[in-house]
Structure 1
């Protein structure tokens, strides 16, 4: 009697295990890979936003994927679900926000970021690139450092930087996304430039910050130059500090 009862129990366990395996395989198949290369001192964060697809009373959700900073170049690779179930609710990917972080010093304020995004659509806009025959979409974004004199009272007269990244995004057809690979490589422009035009003037030895007009941010004419602080030094020209 005990032996007869054990057989369906064992079969039940086997069926449960097979069901679990099937569920994991389904989740893996219903996702796409987001990957690429980052320069030194850069980090990528992808925030996937999901909406309820089957009319249940669930709320929109978000999942984050982040690479972290490294001193040298690094590869990032995220497996992002296109859809998943949360209880009775079917959650469907709506968009992926991208946050490209860069650091130019060791202090917390010497970190900044720019945005990008993966936009899910029913049909590609005219001229938007599509996946190739192998299911890959490759793009490159270029990030430029923009320098300025800090406006913060505690850092007044010091150089701070912002990040401007172009091409950090793509349009993706929602129904064709599962199982595909999106590659976004980040490159840095070797030439930095001022955050605002006509606030620094360029010379063969580098950039010099102007004293602004009264009530303006732009340079006086003829220009008068000011010193600034960088890495604890009093400087006259950026980025070399001394002329």
Structure 2
């Protein structure tokens, strides 16, 4: 597994002609931040957004954006790799930019995953972590704490040639140590994380499912696409007909009759 390390440095991103760019970084005291390790399967990339709100009891508001600097948001990125990888981010728990004491409210992930060679052969979903006030001794503060994100592919066909496309969905699930699932769904207490490590593990399910109900029939060899009223029918619901099926194309252009094995 390769490691992409963002050690002690925060990546500020801003939009320029539709692109994200870095604008600098600074050292962060470990007692006022936590280390966020994000484990990604092969073919995954992420963008992270840490969102800040005024500290409890403060009457001020989040300072407005000034040029490249946005006190209420801090951005992180881990680029796609064909191998499994681990991103390491140092995430501030507080911010004093603009004169308003701010605290971390949430960390949102934009998750992209490739399923084919073409530029647009990718799925995207959003997930995240919520944070709240608390005390350092109010719960188990072992480090690293682990959160699990389970991702799944849902497939469907589009267009007159019935090309397979995939939709990515990622959700929080409990780890074996979190039998009741409460930690998995948060929110987490900021005081528990100061100077510690939080690990977020993204897994991808081996089983894929149809994205639209009553479009496919499952056989021992794989899924077959229902015929519907005709080859040209764009929705082609099975509607009880489990004997007539139509071919489709894989993202790489192969003509197939069963998914994901292509041929029976």
Instruction: Report the TM-score range of the alignment, normalised by the length of the smaller protein.
Output: 0.7 to 0.9
Please name the residue that 1:148 is paired with: 156
CA contact (8 A) 1:141 1:186 kept: yes
Deviation larger for 211-220 or 200-209? 211-220
Partners of 1:199 and 1:161 in 2: CA distance: 14
* 1:183/1:160 CA distance change after superposition, 3 Å: same
Query: Within 2, Cα distance between the matches of 1:89 and 1:132?
Result: 31
Structure having the higher helix fraction is: 1
Any stretches of 5+ residues in structure 2 without a counterpart? 1-25, 65-70, 174-184
Q: 1:48 to 1:133 in 2, by over 3 A?
A: closer
2:166 is the counterpart of 1:136:
no
Please give the alpha-carbon distance, in whole angstroms, between the structure 2 residues aligned to 1:34 and 1:93.
13
CA RMSD of aligned residues (A): 2.7
1:100 shift after superposition: 2.2
**In 1: Cα distance, 2:120 partner to 2:28 partner:** 43
Assess if the C-alpha contact under 8 Å between 2:134 and 2:191 holds in 1.
Answer: no
What SS does the corresponding residue of 2:113 show, helix, strand or coil? strand
Asked if structure 2 preserves the Cα contact closer than 8 Å seen for 1:117 and 1:170, the reply is no
Tell me the equivalent position of 1:227.
247
- Which residue number corresponds to residue 210 of structure 1? 226
Q: Is the 8 A contact 1:162 1:195 kept in 2?
A: yes
**Which residue in the other structure is 1:157 paired with?**
162
| Alignment: residue pair count | 212
TM-score (norm 2): 0.71
Q: Which runs of 5+ in 1 are unaligned?
A: 1-23, 125-129
Which residue number in structure 2 is paired with residue 12 of structure 1?
none
CA offset at residue 121 of structure 1?
2.3
**Alpha-carbon distance in structure 1 between the residues aligned to 2:141 and 2:192:** 12
Match of 1:181 in 2: 197
CA contact (8 A) 1:140 1:186 kept: yes
Equivalent position to 1:34, from 24, 36, 46: 36
The residue that corresponds to 2:53 in the other structure is 51
What secondary structure is seen at the aligned counterpart in 2 of 1:175? helix
- Higher-Rg structure is 1
Q: Say if 1:201 and 1:25 are closer, same or farther in 2 by CA, change over 3 A.
A: closer
- Contact kept in structure 2, 1:131 and 1:137, CA below 8 Å: no
Is residue 2:162 matched to residue 1:167? no
Partner of residue 4, structure 2: none
Cα distance, 1:52–1:233 mapped onto 2, change above 3 Å: same
Cα 1:179–1:66 change in 2 (3 A) is: same
Aligned-pair CA distance for 1:82: 0.8
Aligned partner of 1:74 in structure 2 is: 85
Equivalent-residue separation in structure 1 for 2:134 and 2:30 (angstroms): 24
Q: CA deviation at 1:67?
A: 1.1
Change (3 A) 1:80 1:238: same
Q: Distance in 2 between matches of 1:122 and 1:34?
A: 18
The 2-side partners of 1:219 and 1:208 are apart by 10
* Residue in structure 1 matched with residue 261 of structure 2 by the alignment: 240
Residue of structure 2 aligned with 1:65, choices 71, 76, 79: 76
